[in-house]
Amino acid sequence: MTLAPHPSVHGETLKAKVEQATGVKLNHCYQCGKCAAGCPVARDMDLTSCQILRLIQFSNPEWDRQALQSEAIWLCLACETCSTRCPQEVQVPKVMDFLRTEAVRRDIAHPRSKDILAFHRAFMDSVQQTGRLYEIGLVADYKVRSRHFLKDLLLAPRMLVRGKLPLVPHLIQGRDAIKRIFKRTLGVKP
């Protein structure tokens, strides 16, 4: 009987990819749970941070998929409480960042990631166009992308009367250079 080589041998498993991209050693996590204990959004997550790490420690494709499909990876705010307290110095938010891009790449991201992704894409779209964030543009773009047209209708007037919402975007000189930065990194329009 011959055993199929363990998938990690080829360096193509999720675990290998995470470690290669982030420099994090996943086996350093010994499941003490301190990350989840201090996580300000743990109670809203379907899997805690340490459960996510546990799932991807084994290079089991089904467990990898569970981690990638979780809502939890989208709720991480990168507040860095976990990595600050981790006795093994595992940089959990870096792992979460990678898992999000990988979930999108495999097209298996949790349905509730849609709004969050729409926001980040609208944000970066504004930066790609003008070089800086244009807040009205961001909100308008987000509303179109997310179709939440009625959300925060009262917020804009609140901000306008306080002079917090400039109507005209700031355009930087190096806009072409910024567009090339986006092309060389994201590759496509955000």
CB of 12 to another protein, least distance (A): 19
71 phi/psi in degrees, rounded to 5: -80, -25
Residue ranges in 41-100 that form contacts with another protein under rule CB under 8 A: 41, 44, 75, 77-81, 83-84, 89, 91, 97-98, 100
How many angstroms separate the CA atoms of 39 and 84, rounded?
Answer: 11
**Six token digits for residue 48:** 């805690």
Residue 165 interacts with another protein (CB under 8 A): yes or no? yes
Q: Which residue has the tokens 């011959």?
A: 2
CB of 188 to another protein, least distance (A): 10
Residue 105 interacts with another protein (CB under 8 A): yes or no? no
Q: Which x/- pattern over 113-152 shows residues binding another protein (rule: CB under 8 A)?
A: --xxxxxxx-xx--x---xxx-x---x--x---x----xx
122 burial type by CB count under 10 A (0-12 exposed, 13-18 middle, 19+ buried): buried
Classify residue 133 as left (phi > 0), alpha (psi -120 to 50) or beta: beta
CB of 139 to another protein, least distance (A): 7
For the stretch 28-33, contacts whose Cβ atoms lie closer than 8 Å and that sit 24 or more positions apart, written own/partner, are: 28/88, 28/89, 28/90, 29/53, 29/54, 29/57, 29/86, 29/88, 29/90, 30/88, 32/87
Q: Select the span of 2-10, 29-37, 49-57, 169-177 touching another protein (CB under 8 A).
A: 169-177
Contacts to another protein by CB under 8 A: 21, 40-41, 44, 75, 77-81, 83-84, 89, 91, 97-98, 100-101, 115-121, 123-124, 127, 131-133, 135, 139, 142, 146, 151-152, 155, 158-159, 162-166, 170, 172-174, 177-178, 180-182, 184-186, 190
